[in-house]
């Protein structure tokens, strides 16, 4: 076993991404009027501006990670394998565009669970956002420097998790999604940045960090 070099141990700037409502759309069943998160590869649809925004963040030198609450298996809505297949489809879709995700951190727990749910997943865990566990794991596995890391989400749980993990929070806040208003927690719990679209948020993050004014070839 060799001694790791400085290069391999150096921490980097990172962006931790929520999945549902941030990277991909929720699934609406027009017939029943119900809304659910994606749980099949065919459901995976990137939201407007996501591809451009991720490319911008990558080019600016940020590492990328995903942190997602997926209580569906605990609630009996779909299986753990369905979550894994859906996440794989998302990674494949992004990978085909040259976007690499360093790690995907998933909380499968739910405090109450639901009918037919996997009872082993019913727990008050440390990972479920707004707790910081998923974000801390993502930073450890992707080797992100907390001081240079952002969390991009679409809900107050994401903003609170960012605060709890002591990273900066950024919210995508589309005006047509008021039924799950991410700002319902109040301004005192608010994130550092709010934009209507993912690409605008990515630009705002780069601007806030001066990442775009850096000389070409110089990473964050």
> What are the residues binding Zn ion (CB under 5 A)?
107, 109, 125, 127-128
Q: Is 18 a catalytic residue?
A: yes
Q: Which is nearer to Zn ion, 109 or 168 (CB)?
A: 109
DSSP one-letter code for 4: P
Q: Which is nearer to Zn ion, 131 or 148 (CB)?
A: 131
Residue 21 interacting with Mg ion (CB under 5 A): yes
Q: Categorise residue 24: left if φ over 0, alpha if ψ from -120 to 50, beta otherwise.
A: beta
Of 13, 15, 16, 18, the residue at the interface with Mg ion (CB under 5 A) is: 18
Phi, psi angles (nearest 5°) of residue 84:
-65, -40
DSSP one-letter code for 155: S
Q: Which is nearer to Zn ion, 54 or 66 (CB)?
A: 66
Subset of 146-175 contacting Mg ion (CB under 5 A): 154-155
| Catalytically annotated residue among 18, 25, 158, 209 | 18
Q: Is 20 a catalytic residue?
A: yes
Q: Residue 130 binds what, of Zn ion, Mg ion, none (CB under 5 to 8 Å, by partner type)? A: none
DSSP one-letter code for 169: E
Residues 67 and 135: their CA atoms lie apart, in Å, by 6
Q: Which is nearer to Mg ion, 158 or 209 (CB)?
A: 158
Residues 150 and 186: their CA atoms lie apart, in Å, by 20
The rounded Cα 205 to chain-centroid distance in angstroms is 15
In order of 72, 75, 122, 155, 212, the CA distances from 81 in angstroms are: 11, 14, 17, 25, 39
Q: Are 8 and 56 in contact (CB under 8 A)?
A: no
Residue 130 interacting with Mg ion (CB under 5 A): no
Q: Could you tell me which stretch among 5-13, 17-25, 51-59, 103-111 binds Mg ion (CB under 5 A)?
A: 17-25
Q: Residue 107 binds what, of Mg ion, Zn ion, none (CB under 5 to 8 Å, by partner type)? A: Zn ion
Residue 132 interacting with Mg ion (CB under 5 A): no
- Active site members: 18, 20
| Contact set with Mg ion (CB under 5 A) | 18, 20-21, 154-155
């Amino acid at each position: 076993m060799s001694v790791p070099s400085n290069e391999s141990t150096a921490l980097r700037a990172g962006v931790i991404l929520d999945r549902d409502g941030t990277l991909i759309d929720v699934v609406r069943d027009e017939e029943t009027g119900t809304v659910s998160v994606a749980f099949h590869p065919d459901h995976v649809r990137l939201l407007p501006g996501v591809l451009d925004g991720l490319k911008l963040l990558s080019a600016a030198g940020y590492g990328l990670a995903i942190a997602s609450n997926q209580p569906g298996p605990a609630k009996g809505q779909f299986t753990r394998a369905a979550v894994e297949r859906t996440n794989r489809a998302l990674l494949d879709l992004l990978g085909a565009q040259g976007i690499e995700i360093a790690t995907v951190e998933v909380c499968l727990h739910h405090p109450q669970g639901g009918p037919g749910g996997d009872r082993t997943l019913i727990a008050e865990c440390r990972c479920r956002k707004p707790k910081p566990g998923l974000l801390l794991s993502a930073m450890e596995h992707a080797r992100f420097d907390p001081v240079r890391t952002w969390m991009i989400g679409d809900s107050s749980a994401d903003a609170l998790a960012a605060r709890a993990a002591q990273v900066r929070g950024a919210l995508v806040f589309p005006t047509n999604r008021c039924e799950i208003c991410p700002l319902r927690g109040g301004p005192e719990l608010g994130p550092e940045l709010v934009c209507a679209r993912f690409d605008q948020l990515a630009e705002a993050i780069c601007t806030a960090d001066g990442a775009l004014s850096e000389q070409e070839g110089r990473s964050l």
